[in-house]
Amino acid sequence: MKIGLYFGSFNPIHIGHLIIANTLYDRTDLDEVWFVVSPQNPFKKQQSLVHEFDRLRMVELAIEDHFHFRACDVEFRMPKPSYTIDTLTYLSEQHPQHQFVLFLGSDNLTHFKKWKNYQVILEQYEVLVYPRPGDPVGFDHPKVRTIEAPLLDISATFIRKSIQEGFSVKYLLPEKVEEYILAKKLYH
């Protein structure tokens, strides 16, 4: 199978992520999309990062009605911080029958040359890039393909801040994720 890998902290997952995943799934020949929850992004501080099990559970709740989406916790059992090339290599070894493709927002593409072994990623994997507000898609490489997708200026940062300030996050997250956040008092 051809699998699209959507890496993220997902702190928490929101409709921006889901719309992108569905757009890329729908407009390419991918068989499945796996949401890989990263315990620790090498470039981000740990502050306000809720437990990885909560982030994984929220991803599971968000995607449970999509037959071709899966939540992946492989990085929980790998060294931290989470380097994408290491996870790609591990997944390719574990699942030689699958072809893995990397999703990348144009915001991440801007800093992509600072990623561990980014040349190896480009040599070995196809990359699907989608546009993010404020970051033009400008990366010319035979393995990089841009997919037209809606520009949604929604971030987990905005959602966390809204919850902390007591504002509504209705419609920014799937209802079940919102309920989980409320029940477990996350981000308050």
Ligand X SMILES: Nc1ncnc2c1ncn2[C@@H]1O[C@H](COP(=O)(O)OP(=O)(O)OP(=O)(O)O)[C@@H](O)[C@H]1O
Interacting residues toward ligand X by CB under 6 A: 8-11, 16-17, 20, 105, 107-108, 132, 152, 154-157
- The DSSP element (H or E) to which 146 belongs, if any, is strand 144-146
Of 15-44, binders to ligand NCN (CB under 6 A) are 38, 41-44
What does DSSP assign to residue 184?
Answer: H
What are the tokens at 30?
A: 């991918």
CA-angle at 14, arms to 10 and 18, nearest 5°: 100
Residue 115 partner contact from ligand X, ligand NCN, none using kind-dependent CB cut-offs of 5 to 8 Å: ligand NCN
Alpha-helical regions (H) of the chain: 15-26, 52-63, 84-94, 106-110, 118-124, 156-164, 175-184
Is 116 one of the binding residues for ligand NCN (CB under 6 A)?
Answer: yes
Smallest distance from ligand X to CB 96, Å: 26
* Binding of ligand NCN by 115 (CB under 6 A): yes
The least distance separating ligand X from the CB of residue 7, rounded to whole angstroms, comes to 7
Site residues (CB under 6 A) for ligand NCN, limited to 1-20: 7-9
Closest of 118, 117, 91, 94 to residue 104, by C-alpha: 118
Residue nearest to ligand X (CB): 16
Instruction: Considering only the stretches 80-88, 122-130, 147-155, 169-177, report the one whose residues sit in contact with ligand NCN under the rule CB under 6 A.
Output: 80-88
Interface size with ligand NCN, residues (CB under 6 A) = 14
